[in-house]
Amino acid sequence: MAEDLLAVSGLRRSYGAVTAVDDVSFTLAEGGSLGIVGESGSGKTTTARIIAGLERADAGRVEVAGRDRSARSRGRADRLRRAREVQMVFQDPFLSLDPRVPIGAALRETLRLHFPRTDPALRVAELLDEVGLGGREAAALPRHLSGGQRQRVVIARALAVRPRLIVFDEAVAALDVSVQAQILGLLAGIRAETGIGFLFITHDLGVVRSVADEIVVMRRGAVVERGPTESVLGAPGHPYTRLLLDSVPRPGWDPRRIAEARRCLD
């Protein structure tokens, strides 16, 4: 049985009187893929940001490969080590890239920070090839690439530090369906080849079904259901999970029934 790569226990985070994350706990196996789903305001993105180290929890613990990430980082070396443990890919790749810096130069800078003895030209070529890009994209500025290409670049930059875990926060939500399928297929191949653990934050149950081994369902900051993806989505045990499934548009779908179900749940 695979050991836990990620262990989250008793996570809490409040903003004034609003509790965004309330006693959240779950694990992710080494090399596994976990999806956290829920509507806007469910606490899933706050949970992801805490795991990635972009926010601090008020209480609880986050461990990656047995190492506690809950305490404040201690200097530059510790920040670089944490970055090599966990990388994060956001919804809008354009905001994650410097518009003035060509793609190849951005990747070389990442390598310089983390692996100064690596041959940058060779490694940049390898990274771009891994995500289906090449020399033309390496010389381009971000604005000259498509949304799907920019997302591939951001994935390549995350891979550059050889992380143990990559967190994807709605990373394919802004892409059209065909490009979304290409990126998800790319990620499946990368996970199979590298053994990197994936954590997907999304509202899209179709994405979760295609990429996640297990699922965590969050509502109002708390975990309401978790388990193998096919089991949870095939036979949901919590009314909120059933509501999420019923909210997916399909033939005969009636939004009035969803609104009524939501009022009953509240």
Kindly report, residue by residue over 236-250, the tens digit of the pLDDT: 999 999 888 887 765
Torsion sign (Cα): 233, 234, 237, 242: positive
In the chain, where does the domain assigned CATH 3.40.50.300 lie? 4-235
Mean per-residue pLDDT, 59-85? 86
Strand order across the 18-29 sheet: 18-29, 4-15, 59-64, 67-68
Whole-number Å distance between alpha carbons of 254 and 246: 9
For 256-265, what is the mean pLDDT? 55
To 10 degrees, what angle do helices 147-160 and 177-194 make?
20
Task: Report the alpha-carbon distance of residue 254 to residue 213 in Å, rounded.
Answer: 30
Strand partners, 215: 35, 227
Architecture of the structural domain at 4-235: 3-Layer(aba) Sandwich (3.40)
Residue 195 above 80 pLDDT? yes
What pLDDT does residue 83 have?
85
Query: Stretch 177-206: mean pLDDT, rounded?
Result: 91
What average pLDDT does this structure show over 158-167?
94
pTM for the model stands at 0.90
Kindly state the DSSP code that residue 168 receives in the 8-state scheme. Answer: E
**What is the reported pLDDT for 254?**
56
pLDDT in tens, 41-50: 999 999 999 9
Q: What per-residue confidence (pLDDT) applies to 250? A: 59
- Window from 118-122, 239-243, 256-260 with minimum mean pLDDT: 256-260
Q: Which residue has the higher pLDDT, 252 or 35?
A: 35
Average pLDDT over residues 58-74: 88
How are beta strands 197-202 and 165-169 bridged, if at all? parallel
| Phi and psi angles of residue 197, each rounded to the nearest 5 degrees, phi first | -80, 145
**Whole-angstrom distance, CA of residue 120 vs CA of residue 107:** 8
Q: What is the pLDDT of residue 116?
A: 86
Q: By the 8 A CB rule, do 134 and 107 touch?
A: no
Q: Look at residue 167 in the predicted model and tell me its pLDDT.
A: 96
More confident: 199 or 78: 199
Confidence of residue 171 (pLDDT cuts 50, 70, 90): confident
Amino acid of residue 196:
I
Angle of helix 120-130 relative to helix 103-114, nearest 10 degrees, comes to 120
Question: Which contacts (CB < 8 Å, 24+ apart) does range 180-189 have?
Answer: 180/207, 182/148, 183/148, 183/151, 183/152, 183/155, 184/210, 184/211, 186/131, 186/132, 186/152, 186/155, 187/155, 187/211
The DSSP output letter for 96 is G
Express as a percent the part of the chain with pLDDT over 70.
92
Comparison of pLDDT for 249 and 255, the residue scoring more: 249
Cα–Cα distance between 127 and 113 in angstroms, integer? 16
- Name which of 9-23, 38-52, 172-186 the model is least confident about: 172-186
Which range has the top average pLDDT, 16-30, 63-77, 168-182?
16-30
